[in-house]
A and B are shown apart, each in its own frame.
Chain A
Amino acid sequence: MAFSKRKVKKDKRLTENQKKGLDLLDEKLSGKLMTHLNSCVHCGLCGESCLYYLHYGDEKYLPGYKVDLISRIYRRYHTVTGKVIPGLVGAKDFDDDAIQEMIDVIYGGCTMCGRCSMHCSVGIDIAFLVRTARSMLAEMDLVPKGLQSTVDTAVKTGNNMGIPKEDYIDTLQWLEEDLQIEVDDPNASIPLDKKGSKIFYTLNPREPKFFPMSISAAAMIFYAAKESWTLSSHYYDVTNYAYYSGDDTIGALITDRLREEVEKIRAETLVLAECGHGPRAIRWEGPRWTQKKYPFKTITLVELIADYIRTDRIKLDPRKNKETVTLHDPCNLVRSGGVIEEQRYILKHAVTNFIEMYPNRENNFCCGGGGGQLSMGEYAERRMDVAQLKADQIRETGADIVVTPCHNCIDQLMEVNKDYELGVKVKTMAEIVADALVIE
């Protein structure tokens, strides 16, 4: 590895910025990365697993080609053949053309949904390679503007929407008043900074900003379950867009902030709000980025609600949700997070008519909004184009309501609903459960 690094440093054709990207690849070159970089046989059978390729039919969106965008660079600087006879093995210089193509496809033509990884004929973790390519680009400050701005806002303000603390607290206060009226209990509360609470609950900043009713729904569920829980006034953001930008250092910083806050509250369990990439980043990637194990348990709200139902801590009356409901599986929560059956268990108890869309579970298709696409205005047209697949899936179910436990997916599905004139309602899991709650 060091040999390659010295060669890169001496290579006068490379700019300092290009060397930074190559150095990062060198640093990240673990056994796992090396394995996946060396395994593609260019069989081209992966196309049908990618929503971009399915929609456009353009070869540049083939998952195998995405693998090649990074593996050809690896071959050029890390293999003997690639250094001596690059043309033979398709090794390419890390020049401006290669970088521009990487930005366009790696950021703008992939949601990192990981569907291709699961179906790869060899078993290559393609999403992992795409994330590594993003890390190289992030190291070179080449993250698309909108996505970088979301990351910067989270770092600067503590939440990705830059919500001022006073606005956030105001919102929670009126939501608390609403909750008291709703459950007819003046003692019902949305606790803030309550030390020693069993549960530390997080929020997607879109909730206080645009969807406060999903906070109400979660609060009502906690109330019904007689849960000891709290929100933090200081740090509550469940998202970590550094996962999407590719910046592990910032990813670790955001992870540490949340960890410190949970420790300050002395909570037993960190409950991750309805989000796809957030739970993935916090639960699975954060400990790896920080190289620290959490001293508390980490679960998602979906798993917690399923547990409440299973242990009779909440009672639901499915007759309160008579419309036909379908479920959209968020990729990061399901395929890369293992929360697969819990949401189905919940819906079977919360609605009378639940219908699956196909394919589903680990084979689901991304809604098109993953991978940070919702933050990248540059690729908005593509995002809505590829969502046609999801629109068709929803339409085929004939459902009235689409439920998804992810605010990112909610945003995208609301746009899809409008653009493709689906005429459905889009709800979070907590909202549909709150609608069915029997408060005793």
Chain B
Amino acid sequence: MTAFYIIIVGSLVALNGAILGSVLLLRRMSMICDAIVHAILPGLVLAYLFTSSRGSLAMTFGAISSGIVAATLVEFTQQKFQITREAAIGITFTTLFSIGIILLALFAGQVELDQDCVLFGELAYVPLDLWITDEGLNLGPHSMWSLAFLTIGVITYVAVGFRPLVLCAFDKEFAELQGIKVQLWHYSLLLMLSLAAVTSFHAVGAIMVMGFFILPPATAFLFVSSVRSLMLISCSIGMLCVISGYFLAQYMNVSIAGCIITLNGVVFFAAFSNRLYMKLNPPRPIDKTI
């Protein structure tokens, strides 16, 4: 049963990651994903301090606010202070993350957020945090339910926003001419990202969440030709790596999430090498005259 819970939770994280991650990849926002994942920390800490609860709602709200603040700051610093976009991203997320750590340290006595757990999470603990109703019915881990709701939310969001999100990716001016509110979709995407990050971090940790968003879509991107297949193949790769990663981690007795991400990385490089090999050694037509 433990294995089942872990794999389900992991797969849900992978599913969300693959779908949102595909959109991010197309929009060249992969490094912003890294930034957002780090930047949600101060929001989480502040949410805890203000509400004195580790309740998911407070944390979620804190993370989303933090994510939006980060996104806004990146745009602001880039435009007002005339620095490169990469520099704006770098300065914003490192500063926000540092503020988060300082807040954590300042209120160390009051905060039960375990630094390690927030950042690295541990899939192995997921089955320990079960939702048992008053009647004694075991409904499975909390993470499973929150992730399930998240998945519905993410799929709805991407389905509704498919055209503006994907169209905006290729041509911002054209999208604006079509009447699409480019800014709105940009910020809502980052909001969804923050939401997905905070929901997933209980299980896999804030930083490793990023691996789920980046690696399966990047692997699929190497050889697909449509956005839909990009998403479908990323989801498949993501989930397969969760399952194999779990068993591999059990065998090697190492971090489950770390193993899953590393496996994702190996799959990416295998696919990359394969593409490279195919490019350098294109198949020759069969010589029928022999």
Q: Answer yes or no: do A and B interact.
A: no
